[in-house]
Structure 1
Amino acid sequence: MSKASKSSRPSQDDRDESEAERLDRNYNEMLQELRVLQAGMQILFAFLLTLAFQARFGAVSDFQRNVYIGSLLSAALAAGCLIGPVAFHRIVFRRGMKDHLIKAATRYIAAGMAFLFVTMVGAVLVVLDFMLSRPIASSITGSLAASFVVLWLVIPLVARARETDDEQDSP
C-alpha cells in the first residue's frame, strides 16, 4: 500500500472516539459479522438435521454416514459458538463488561467459523461422495477446503501483515 493512500485512512490512533465509543463500534461490527454467520450456519444445520430423514439416506455408505455425523455435530458446535456471544451478553448486560464481551465473542466467532468450515467441507464431501467416486469427491472437497483456507485465513493474514509492515515503514 502506498504511503499516500495510507495517510487518507484513519488508523486506530487517529479516531476521535472515547473508549466507550470504540467498544460500541467494535460491538456493532461484531454483531454484523454474527448476523451473516448465524444465518448461513442455521440454514446448513437445518439441512443436515433433515437429511437423515430422507428416503435415500439409507443408501449411504458407512464412510458417508460417519462424515455426515461429524458434520452434524460440527454444525451443532458452530451453532453453539455463534450463539454463545448472545448468552454471554445476556449474562453480563449492564455490568460494564463490554470489553470482556468483545474479547469473548471474538473467540466464540473464531471457534464457530472453524466448526462451520468443518461442517461445510463435510457436507460437501457427503454429497459428492454419494454422487461421484470417492477420489473425485475427495479432490473436489480438498480444493474447496483449500479455497476456504485461502479466503478466510490466508488473505486476511497477508493483508494484516502488510498493514503492519506499512505502519513500521512510515516515519
Structure 2
Amino acid sequence: MTGPARGGADPGVAAAFRETMAAVCAPVAVMTGLEGGLPHGTTVSAFASLSMNPPMVLVALDRTSELLALVRRTRRFGLNLLGAGQAGLARRFAAKGGAAKFAGVAWEPHAGVPRIPGSAGFVGCTVAGLAHGGDHLIVLGNVVAAETTGDAPLVYHRRTFGTPAALPEVSG
C-alpha cells in the first residue's frame, strides 16, 4: 500500500481527481505580460470571472511559472480568450520558451499587455492580489479593459480542444 503523495493527497484520490477534472469543459486563454518591450505568455484554463462590482478575474498559475514571476514584477496581465480555430496557439503557448513563443505571432499592446488579434475576447488586468492554492498561486485581477468578438470559444475537454455547440430545443 502506498502512502499519501506530496502535500498529503492520497495517490488514488489524486489520480481520480485528475480524471474527474479532465471531464470538465474548461475555457482556454493565453495569459500575457509585457516586460522590457518583450511579450510573454502561457496557456491557461484555470481562470474565471470573480466579481462584477468591481470587475475582477482570477487565474491560477503554477508556482514555478516564468509568467507568474513576470506578473508579480509588472503587476499587469492580459487574458486572450482563444477562439475555436486557435488550438495551435494554445499548444504553442503551453510549451516552455519565454518570449520566443511570440516569434511569428501578431500582437499589439493593449492595457499595458500583449493582446493577440483574432482572439475571441480579451481582458486586461492589474494585479489586485495573490492567494495560495496548493502548488499554484491564484492571481486576482482588477479588470481595466474587456472586449469580445462573439466568436465561438476554444475549450479543453478530456485532453482535447474543441468548441461548444448549442443543443436543439426539446419540447415537452
Please give the range of the TM-score, normalised by the shorter of the 2 chains.
under 0.3
Give the TM-score taking structure 2 as reference length. 0.22
| More strand per residue | 2
Give the TM-score taking structure 1 as reference length. 0.22
Q: Which has the larger radius of gyration?
A: 1
